[in-house]
Structures are given as C-alpha cells and as structure tokens.
Amino acid sequence: MSEQEYYVPHGTYWPIIGSIGVSTLFVGFANQMHGAEWGGSVMALGFAIMVFMMFGWFGQVVNESTNGIYNKQVDRSFRWGMSWFIFSEVMFFAAFFGALFYARQLSVPWLGGADNNLFTPDLWNAFSASWHQMAFISPGTELQSGTVMSFPAVPATGIETATPAMVVDPWGLPALNTALLLASGVTLTFAHHALRAGHRDQIVGWLVATIALGVAFLGFQIMEYGHAYHDGLKLTSGIYGSTFYMLTGFHGFHVTVGVIMLTVILYRVQKGHFNADNHFGFEGVAWYWHFVDVVWLGLFVFVYWL
C-alpha cells in the first residue's frame, strides 16, 4: 500500500454497537435516577455492551496494526485523534478549575458583600463569606466526630460561630497521594526509556510499578473520601463540597481509566506489539498518564495550598 493511500479498515459494525451500548446505559441511568426498578439492570446491560464494543473494536485495530496493514497516513490519523481527545480533556478540567477559581475568588466574596455592585452587604447580612462550608453550630452540640463544641457567641452580631475541626489536612493523605502519583510519573518515564532503548524486561517491571502506584493512589483517595464524608464534607456541602468532589472525583475516574489503559499496554508489551521505533499506543497512554499526574499536581497546589 502506498504512503498516500488511506487504508479503509473494514465494513465496521462497531460504531452502531457502541451507540446502542451508550444509549442503553443512559436510558438505564436516567430511569434509575427516577426510581425505576429496572433502571439498574438496563444500565448494567448498557455497560456490558460498551465493554464488549471496546474489546472487539480495539482488539480489531490492534490486530490490524500488528499485521502491518497500517501505513504512515493511518499513523498520523491516530496521533491527531489522540490530540483531539486530549484537547477535550484539557477543556474539561479547565472548566472545573475555572469553576473553582470563580467561586472562590469572585462569587462567594460577592455574596458576602464584597465589591460595590448588585451584591451589597445588605443582601445577605447574616452571611459571612469564607471558603469551605459555613457551619453555624450551637455550643454544646455533639458533632459526628464525637467532639462537643464549646465556643463563645460573637457579641457583635449575635451569630454563633463554629470552631470547626480540620477535615482535609494537606500534610496527610493528599501529600502522600501526590508523592505516589509523582512517583508513578517517574516509573513510567523509566518504562518509556526502557522501551526506546529496547529493554523489554525492564519495561514490564516499571509498568507494573506504575500501575501499582496508580492503584495505591486510588485506594488512599477512597480512604480520604470516607474520612471527609464522615466528618461532614459532602457533595451537597455548599460550593466547596461540590467543586471539591467534582474535581477530585473526575480526576479519580481518570486515574482509573489510566490504570486500565496501562494494564492493556502492559499486556501488549508482553505480547511484543511495540518496538523502539514504533510504539504509538504506549506514547498515547504515557502522555495521558502524565496529564492526569499534572492535573493532580494542580489540584494539590490550588485546592490544598494556594
């Protein structure tokens, strides 16, 4: 096949199967939300169809690649496809980081009476703006964590202010998780180097380490959620709870997807699908993992520190 000619793979049925799968998934999900008994099972069916489609379609593409059917034009189209996917991911996280900055720097201070515009101090005169959840708790109230609140009422306003407990301590699990994810970026770079140098046995070791670090990150993140949820930080805990769980939750989902992708790459490395000069599958997944790592670094810095 010439370099210019575009290989049209096969009369494919996978897109329609994917469409049926995703439609079934969302019909099930929407009805589950409305309390339909059959919602959950339809959702599971849709998910199963999606998994079937992914295995089938991606497997077919991998087979075509290893059979040497693809030329440089197809390689280019894969690279551009990946770059557009990455663009959508960057926009996705930019929106959530934007929401975090907007709420923290602008809308919450406005509600508290900052700036001389629509939101005058009289609009919500009992509201004192502060980032994180506002809690007005009477003295003597027993908290879920077992502590009993004791603090004086503020005489000037008569509003009792809470002395809340620290839920998310940046020195604890968040710092540990950052270290784990950064270490996974380092091990993945070693795997990448080993692949480029043609040391297959080393690639496997470093990839396994990367996957293990990713799984450890997810485990600690679940612990962190349990801890925060138990102490009263929920998705419904005002704008802070919403943005916190949206950002960290979607990030966790991306780490999960990344772990699955790395596992597939590990399998493909063992099958000998890649060589030092031709390993786009590895490159795409490696870049994705680095991106997810950088998103977490941004979260660690902006949510927990700055």
Partner 1 sequence: MTQVVIVLIIIAILVALGFGLIGMVKGGKEGSDKMFKSLVTRVSLSVFLFLLVLFAGYMGWIKPNAVMIDAPVTQAPTVQTPVQK
Residues that bind partner 1 (CB under 8 A): 75-76, 79-80, 82-83, 86, 126, 131-133, 135-138, 141-145, 147, 149, 153, 158-160, 162, 164-171, 175, 178-179, 182, 185-186, 189, 192-193, 196, 228, 231-233, 237, 240, 244, 277, 280, 283-284, 286-287, 290-291, 293-294, 297-298, 300-301, 303-306
For residues 252 and 296, is the Cβ–Cβ distance under 8 A? no
Nearest to partner 1 of 47, 196 (CB atom): 196
When the beta carbons of 11 and 158 are compared against partner 1, the nearer one is: 158
Min. distance of Cβ 302 from partner 1 in angstroms? 8
For the CB of residue 65, give the shortest distance to partner 1 in the complex, in Å. Answer: 14
Q: At what angle do helices 238-270 and 173-197 cross, to 10 degrees?
A: 30
Provide, rounded to whole angstroms, the least separation between the CB of residue 31 and partner 1. 31
Q: For residue 180, give the nearest of 217, 220, 221 by alpha carbon.
A: 217
Nearer CB in complex with partner 1: 200/234: 234
Question: What are the CA-CA distances from residue 60 to residues 53, 66, 132, 179 (Å)?
Answer: 10, 10, 49, 37
Instruction: Compute the distance between CA of residue 234 and CA of residue 225 in angstroms, rounded to an integer.
Output: 9
**Shortest reach from residue 240's CB to partner 1, in Å:** 7
Residue-wise burial string across 266-282, b where 16 or more C-beta atoms lie within 10 A, e elsewhere: bebbeeebbeeeebebb
Considering the complex, state which of residue 165 and residue 257 has its C-beta at the smaller distance from partner 1: 165
Q: Which of 173, 241, 181 is nearest to 211 (CA)?
A: 181
Q: What is the CA radius of gyration of the chain?
A: 25
Minimal distance, residue 29 CB to partner 1, in Å = 29
Cα gap 218→223, rounded to integer Å: 9
Q: Which among 147, 173, 174 has a CA at the least distance from the CA of 231?
A: 147
Minimal distance, residue 98 CB to partner 1, in Å: 15
For partner 1, give the closer residue by CB, 42 or 228: 228
End-to-end CA distance of the chain: 55
Instruction: For partner 1, give the closer residue by CB, 191 or 259.
Output: 191
217 near 258, Cβ under 8 Å? no
Minimum CB–partner distance for residue 169 and partner 1 (Å) = 6
Residue closer to partner 1 (CB basis): 48 or 123: 123
